[in-house]
C-alpha cells in the first residue's frame, strides 16, 4: 500500500511539473476545454506597457544591451566572431559542463545566418542529440508545420536552444549548465541580428528574460532582449500533449508576423 501511494505521489508530482513547464498555473484534472476566443492584444500602449514592465520587474532595464558596450553575459575574455561557422568551429568541442561529456553530438543551430526571426528552445532532445540539429523530432516536425503556415521554411529562420547539449532524460537545464552555455547563444544573436526573437517555452523565456514569471503571464505581449523585440509562446512539445493550445500559439505567430510587417514598413517608409 505504501509503495502504491509513493508511486501515485510520484506520478502526480511529474504531472504537476509538466503542466507548470507548459505554462499552466493550476493543476488540470479534467480534459482541457477549448480556449475561449480572445480579442487581439493591444501591445506597446501607454499604461498596458507600463504594467507589463512592472510585472517582469523591468526586464529591459535588468538586461545588458546586447549590441552595445554593456556586458552581454559572455565571459570577459570570450572573443567575438566573424560568422556563425567560425563561432561553431570554436565551441563545438566544449566540455565546460558535464553535458559535454555525455552528449552524442553538439547541437549548435540551423537556418539562415541573417534570419529576421530567431526561434530559441530549451535544449536538444534524443533525436537532436543523434543528428546534431535542433528540433528534428516530433516537436520539430510540428514547428516546421507552424513555419509553413506562416509562409516560411526552416532555412528562412534561425533555430537554436539555450543549451547546445542534451540533458540526461530531457530534464530541465541546471543553472550552472545555463551559465556555461548561454554566452554562446548571445554570440549567435549578435552575429545574426534578428529583427524578432521568439522564445519557445518556459525555460527559454525565463532564461532570456532573467525572470521567474510563469509562461502564461509572459505571453500575449512584447518583451525586449538587448534591444530586439521578443515574443514568448508555447514549446511545440507542449502542443503535442495539449492540442487545445495550438490556437493560442497560432495567435502568437500572427502577432509576430504583424510586428515584422510593421517593422519592414517603417524601414521602407
How much is the pLDDT for 9? 55
Structural domain contains residue 30: no
> What is the grid cell recorded at 266?
517603417
How much is the pLDDT for 22? 46
Structural domain contains residue 68: no
How much is the pLDDT for 2? 55
Structural domain contains residue 180: yes
Structural domain contains residue 13: no
Report helix, strand or coil for 159.
strand
> What is the grid cell recorded at 163?
543549451
pLDDT tens-digit map of 145-178: 999 999 999 999 999 999 999 999 989 999 999 9
Q: Residue 128 is part of a domain; what is its CATH number?
A: 3.40.470.10
What is the number of domains present in the chain?
1
As a whole number, mean pLDDT of residues 14-21 equals 50
Structural domain contains residue 37: no
Distance CA 259, CA 43 (A): 10
Identify the residue with better confidence: 53 or 122.
122
Structural domain contains residue 115: yes
pLDDT tens-digit map of 187-229: 999 999 999 999 999 999 999 999 999 999 999 999 999 999 9
pLDDT tens-digit map of 64-80: 445 443 343 444 346 78
Structural domain contains residue 194: yes
As a whole number, mean pLDDT of residues 105-121 equals 98
DSSP class of residue 244 equals G
Contact 165, 107 (CB under 8 A): yes
Structural domain contains residue 188: yes
- Domain with 138, as residue range(s), is 84-269
Amino acid at each position: 500500500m505504501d509503495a502504491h501511494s509513493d508511486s501515485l505521489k510520484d506520478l502526480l508530482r511529474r504531472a504537476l511539473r509538466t503542466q507548470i513547464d507548459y505554462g499552466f498555473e493550476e493543476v488540470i484534472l479534467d480534459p482541457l476545454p477549448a480556449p475561449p476566443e480572445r480579442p487581439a492584444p493591444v501591445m506597446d500602449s501607454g499604461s498596458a506597457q507600463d504594467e507589463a514592465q512592472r510585472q517582469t520587474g523591468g526586464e529591459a532595464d535588468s538586461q545588458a544591451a546586447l549590441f552595445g558596450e554593456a556586458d552581454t553575459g559572455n565571459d570577459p575574455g570570450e572573443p567575438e566572431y566573424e560568422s556563425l561557422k567560425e563561432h561553431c568551429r570554436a565551441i563545438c568541442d566544449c566540455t565546460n559542463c558535464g553535458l559535454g561529456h555525455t552528449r552524442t553530438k553538439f547541437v549548435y543551430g540551423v537556418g539562415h545566418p541573417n534570419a529576421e526571426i530567431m526561434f530559441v528552445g530549451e535544449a536538444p532532445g534524443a533525436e537532436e542529440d543523434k543528428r546534431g540539429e535542433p528540433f528534428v523530432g516530433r516537436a520539430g516536425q510540428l514547428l516546421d508545420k507552424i513555419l509553413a503556415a506562416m509562409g516560411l521554411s526552416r532555412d528562412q529562420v534561425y533555430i537554436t536552444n539555450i543549451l547546445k547539449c542534451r540533458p540526461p532524460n530531457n530534464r530541465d537545464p541546471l543553472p550552472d549548465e545555463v551559465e556555461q552555455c548561454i554566452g554562446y547563444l548571445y554570440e549567435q544573436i549578435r552575429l545574426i541580428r534578428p529583427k524578432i526573437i521568439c522564445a519557445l517555452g518556459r525555460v527559454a523565456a525565463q532564461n532570456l528574460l532573467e525572470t521567474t514569471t510563469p509562461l502564461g503571464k509572459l505571453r500575449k505581449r512584447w518583451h525586449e532582449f538587448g534591444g530586439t523585440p521578443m515574443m514568448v509562446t508555447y514549446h511545440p512539445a507542449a502542443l503535442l500533449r495539449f492540442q487545445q493550445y495550438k490556437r493560442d500559439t497560432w495567435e502568437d505567430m500572427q502577432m509576430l508576423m504583424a510586428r515584422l510587417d510593421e517593422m519592414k514598413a517603417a524601414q521602407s517608409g
